[in-house]
Every structure is written in structure tokens, then in C-alpha cells.
């Protein structure tokens, strides 16, 4: 069998984040730039660095790597607080996540993340549920602003983890937005769309998802993900 590498998105796919990320980045811009109107745009499928860049552009601030780093450093400090005080009924791990991860572990698949969150943001969000360490590697928003490139980096790390050439591996991206689907297609990977974010399974199929389901609990998910 070909080694299988799984790359899971976080927000909207593994968790419902109840707006903690948005509140944290808005507060970061308020603290750094005294502006609370920098991020009046949808975040779906965007990487953290893309959000920081667009926020700086929106308020007419200088867009430099140092400026983005500064905003994101403050964001992470605030994110820790936002996650710690989040409503437990709103900030939640999606049904089916633990079951899919467990089944993949039993198959010996390489289980990683493919997320626009910077690495520490991913750790904060998933660590709250005690599942961050179930993912052995990943491609993160701290690797690249472009989602296709960070997915490619996650796939490369997955292949190294599996001890196989990347070309010999089956890569599956699991996400909830058209940008997840596009990134998968950009590296020649399969994609499994889940309609647990803003997009329905039908919309994700129309965007070119290999498979799409209402949630990770839907019939057929394990076969699509595990192969």
C-alpha cells in the first residue's frame, strides 16, 4: 500500500472556534496600531500572515515582515486568553474528529495539520482539547502565506515522517473551504471537504473536492479519508 499522509485544517474542520481568533487579531491591531477596523473581511481559508498583511494594508500601515511579526506576536498572547475563557458550548471540537484520528492511527497513516494558523496558534487552539500532540507534523501559516505552499510543506514533512519519497505517497487534505480544495489540487493531492464551516458539501464538490460530506461523522468519511 502507498503511504498515506493526512493534512487536516483546523478552524471549521476540526473545531468551531467561536470567533476567538477574530477577537484576538482585532485586539492585537487595537493594541499595536490603535485601530479596531483593520480586519473587516472574511477570514475563511486565509493564513494568519495573509490576515496580518491585509489588516496592515487596510489601515494604511507599512507592510513589512517585522510589522506582521509584531501583530502576530501580540495576537498569540491575546489568543491564549481568549481560548482560556471561551464558552465551552461554543468553542468545541467537532464530532467525529477523535474517531477519524483514531482510525488513521490504527492504519498507520501519517497524521498532520495543513492550516493557515501559525504553529503556536495551532498549538493553542488544539491544545485546549488535548489533541495537538495527535498530529506529528504539519504545514502552517508560519511556513508560508500562500496556502498551497504551506500544504506542500506539510506534505513534505509527512513524507519524511513516513520515511517515503513524497512522489510515492497518497496525500489527502481535509478542510472546510474552497481554498483547502484549491491547495490540495495545487499539489496534486486528494481533498475531503467537510461542510462544518461556511460552505456546504455541495459547494465544496463544485469547487473540485474529491469527496465532500456534511461532517466527519457522515457515512463514507472513513473510506474517503483512509482509502
The rounded distance, in Å, linking the Cα atoms of 91 and 88 is 5
If you average pLDDT over residues 200-223, what whole number do you get? Answer: 97
The rounded distance, in Å, linking the Cα atoms of 113 and 124 is 14
Q: Mapping DSSP to helix (H, G, I), strand (E, B) and coil, where does residue 110 land? A: strand
If you average pLDDT over residues 85-112, what whole number do you get? Answer: 96
**pLDDT for res 1:** 80
**pLDDT for res 88:** 86
pLDDT in tens, 38-56: 999 999 889 999 999 999 9
The rounded distance, in Å, linking the Cα atoms of 51 and 2 is 36
**pLDDT for res 44:** 86
Domain ranges of the chain: 4-17+90-226, 20-84
**Interhelix angle for 65-84 vs 20-33, to 10°?**
130
Give pTM, 2 decimals.
0.96
Q: Pick the residue with more confidence: 18 or 9?
A: 9
Sequence-ordered alpha helix ranges (H) in 86-193: 97-107, 119-127, 147-162, 178-186
pLDDT reading at 132 higher than 90: yes
Q: Mapping DSSP to helix (H, G, I), strand (E, B) and coil, where does residue 39 land? A: coil
Residue 213 CB neighbour total at 10 angstroms: 23
The rounded distance, in Å, linking the Cα atoms of 224 and 84 is 34
pLDDT reading at 196 higher than 90: yes
If you average pLDDT over residues 133-142, what whole number do you get? Answer: 97
Domain 4-17+90-226 has CATH 3.40.50.1000: yes
Amino acid at each position: 500500500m502507498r503511504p498515506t499522509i493526512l493534512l487536516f485544517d483546523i478552524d471549521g474542520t476540526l473545531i468551531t472556534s467561536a470567533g476567538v481568533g477574530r477577537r484576538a487579531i482585532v485586539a492585537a491591531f487595537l493594541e499595536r496600531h490603535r485601530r479596531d477596523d483593520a480586519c473587516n473581511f472574511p477570514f475563511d481559508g486565509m493564513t494568519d500572515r495573509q490576515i496580518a498583511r491585509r489588516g496592515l494594508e487596510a489601515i494604511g500601515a507599512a507592510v513589512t515582515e517585522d510589522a506582521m511579526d509584531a501583530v502576530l506576536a501580540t495576537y498569540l498572547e491575546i489568543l491564549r486568553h481568549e481560548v482560556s475563557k471561551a464558552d465551552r458550548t461554543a468553542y468545541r471540537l467537532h464530532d467525529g474528529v477523535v474517531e477519524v484520528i483514531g482510525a488513521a492511527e490504527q492504519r498507520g497513516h501519517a497524521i498532520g495539520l495543513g492550516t493557515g494558523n501559525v504553529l503556536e496558534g495551532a498549538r493553542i487552539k488544539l491544545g485546549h482539547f488535548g489533541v495537538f500532540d495527535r498530529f506529528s507534523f504539519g504545514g502552517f501559516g508560519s511556513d508560508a502565506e500562500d496556502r498551497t505552499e504551506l500544504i506542500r510543506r506539510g506534505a513534505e514533512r509527512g513524507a519524511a515522517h513516513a520515511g517515503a519519497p513524497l512522489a510515492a505517497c497518497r496525500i489527502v487534505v481535509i478542510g472546510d473551504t474552497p481554498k483547502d480544495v484549491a491547495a490540495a489540487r495545487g499539489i496534486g493531492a486528494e481533498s475531503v471537504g467537510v461542510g462544518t464551516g461556511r460552505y456546504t458539501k455541495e459547494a465544496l464538490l463544485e469547487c473540485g473536492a474529491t469527496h465532500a460530506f456534511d461532517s466527519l461523522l457522515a457515512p463514507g468519511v472513513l473510506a474517503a479519508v483512509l482509502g
